[in-house]
A = this chain, B = another copy of it.
Amino acid sequence: MLTLYDNLESGNGHKVRLLLSLLGTEYQLIEKDIHTGETRTPEFLAMNPNGRIPLLVLADGRHLPESNAILSYLAEGTAWMPDDRFERAQVLSWMFFEQYNHEPNVAVARFWCHHLELTPERLAALEAKREQGRKALQVMELQLSYSDWLVGSQPSIADIALYSYTSVADEGGYDLAAYPGIKHWLARMESLSGFIPMVPFDAL
């Protein structure tokens, strides 16, 4: 059976749990507290030298870090990764965009709002992050204003990769009312059979 090291607060982790749920794949979940150094122990670093969750462990003991690489691994041969070579590259393109332009702004703003003291310097940095995050959301909005899914005519791991933190963007101070294409796309994602939501902060 697959084992997933994860933290329920993490959108990067939620991406993987969401795909596993949509696929109906059983797995063992091992929670790690990212705030008390549980991903920086010698034992964990031996599995992932980068000290981060999510981390997938295959039945034979091999380890795979990086949420979007895990999605790619799990989606191979399923409808969640297109067959067409160009569409596969487009899926990866959105996933790299997610890690470079979206997550460091949309996810990190949410983290700061909940875990860091918002000093005046931090507030200025937060507003700069939000400005970059709004640009990333606008790039998504442009695509989703004229297509139901980010790539091709059906949902893919590109949609999953971008769903998790977008769905809780308000927890980082973003107002999604300005992005009607995104709001309709979130609802489409939430109507998929097997969908599971992000865990709200106040339920953790």
- Complex contact A86–B64 (CB within 8 A): yes
Given A86-B73, A100-B100, is A66 in contact with B50 using a C-beta cutoff of 8 Å?
no
A residues 58-97 near B (Cβ < 8 Å) are: 58, 62, 64-70, 72-73, 76, 85-86, 88-90, 92-93, 95-97
Which among B62, B89, B103, B142 is the interface contact of A73 at CB below 8 angstroms? B89
Which among B65, B103, B143 is the interface contact of A93 at CB below 8 angstroms? B65
Main secondary structure of the interface of A (DSSP, over half): helix
Which among B68, B93, B99 is the interface contact of A64 at CB below 8 angstroms? B93
Chain A 98-129 against B: per-residue CB contact (8 Å), 1 yes, 0 no? 01110110000000000000000000000000
- Complex contact A66–B93 (CB within 8 A): yes
- Complex contact A73–B85 (CB within 8 A): yes
What would be 30 A-B contacts, judged by CB atoms less than 8 Å apart? A49-B138, A49-B142, A49-B143, A50-B97, A50-B139, A62-B86, A64-B86, A64-B93, A66-B93, A66-B100, A68-B92, A69-B89, A69-B92, A69-B93, A69-B95, A69-B96, A70-B89, A72-B88, A72-B89, A72-B92, A73-B85, A73-B86, A73-B88, A73-B89, A76-B85, A92-B92, A96-B96, A99-B99, A100-B100, A104-B104
Q: Which residues of A contact B (CB under 8 A)?
A: 49-50, 58, 62, 64-70, 72-73, 76, 85-86, 88-90, 92-93, 95-97, 99-101, 103-104, 138-139, 142-143
